[in-house]
Structure 1
């Protein structure tokens, strides 16, 4: 559960390096569930235990126990990209910023057919914002959608003949 935010300077209200505040679009104290795969959950729980972290402690802390700086994130991310990607991928725009993982995650959720309302809630977005940004990223579902529509029409059965469907051609009228 996420319950507070510490946005960087470009998104703060105070102009300070970080603000600590409640989640955007939510009242103070309201939490937001965020799904986490079992493997990552185990890693995080082990880290929390090893570091002796208590509720309210930062999961990852800067040198003096405070919030990690943006430069630390950027340097760490750059090293991770260099290690994980091929040289051509590293030189490309692929995952240049940590925030690109958010885009990848939301795109993947939508492509895996997580309902937009659920994906938006998990991400802390409105459905309108989610679809405005990510609707064009949804891919590979045209055939499935067409099959579902065909099945729905077929389930209705044959269309009854109302007598109007077989209007006579003008030269056959009497």
Structure 2
């Protein structure tokens, strides 16, 4: 079942996300690279444009099988009207599953540090036109008829949205956790909270620390009588 995140919006379920990855991997032409590309969006919540720009040297993998992606956020942030992090490089954690996929892709293609990770089998770069066509085909193959008529998974970025929603819903939702998710996603915390509001657990009235809030917002005690000002000689 897809998880409802915002009113009028549904996100792909884990089952649907991985079914799309499996479908892409089974394609006779460039199936493995397409699967790796979609996996980077699914597991690291990259924007499709960010994944296309990734180079081998921007993948830092440790011996224990985990690591980081160095992601450059520029034009994507401006398009989303959230330019707080525009022009900076953010570090996104790589889970073991994605680490294995990326490592295998680099070895399979004999890629060097400066090479783009996602290149088609015929040597052409993977482009937005190519992956969008594949996405439409994968969506039609995986989703049910009534889901195809909805907005569910209309674009490949739905994989990213599903991962961000899962990060929020599966965590403790403390301020530190929300800030960490926002940083990994390349968004400001206020924008994240607005866009994924229904993923955040709302505290009950009894859980709100009213006494501390009142103390924090209280004005300092004022003297009962005005303090006389000194007269000028």
TM-score by length of 1: 0.61
Counterpart residue number, 1:127: 189
Name the count of aligned residue pairs: 133
Structure that is richer in strand per residue: 2
**Could you tell me how far apart the structure 2 residues matched to 1:53 and 1:148 are?**
57
Unaligned runs of 5+ in 2: 1-68, 211-233
Residue correspondence of structure 1 range 25-174 to structure 2 within 5 A: 25=85, 31-61=89-119, 65-66=124-125, 68-113=126-171, 115-135=177-197, 137-138=198-199, 141-142=201-202, 145-146=203-204, 149=207
Shift of 1:37: 2.9
Counterpart residue number, 1:4: 72
Shift of 1:40: 2.4
Unaligned runs of 5+ in 1: 12-22, 154-174
Q: Is the 8 A contact 2:75 2:86 kept in 1?
A: no
Q: What do the CA deviations read for 1:108-131 (whole angstroms, capped 9, x no partner)?
A: 211112511000110111112211
**Could you tell me how far apart the structure 1 residues matched to 2:84 and 2:134 are?**
27
Shift in CA distance, 82/6, structure 1 to aligned 2, threshold 3 Å: farther
Shift in CA distance, 24/44, structure 1 to aligned 2, threshold 3 Å: farther
Q: What do the CA deviations read for 1:120-145 (whole angstroms, capped 9, x no partner)?
A: 1101111122112222x215x35xx4
Shift in CA distance, 57/76, structure 1 to aligned 2, threshold 3 Å: same
User: Runs of at least 4 residues of structure 1 off by over 6 A?
Assistant: none
**Could you tell me how far apart the structure 1 residues matched to 2:161 and 2:111 are?**
29
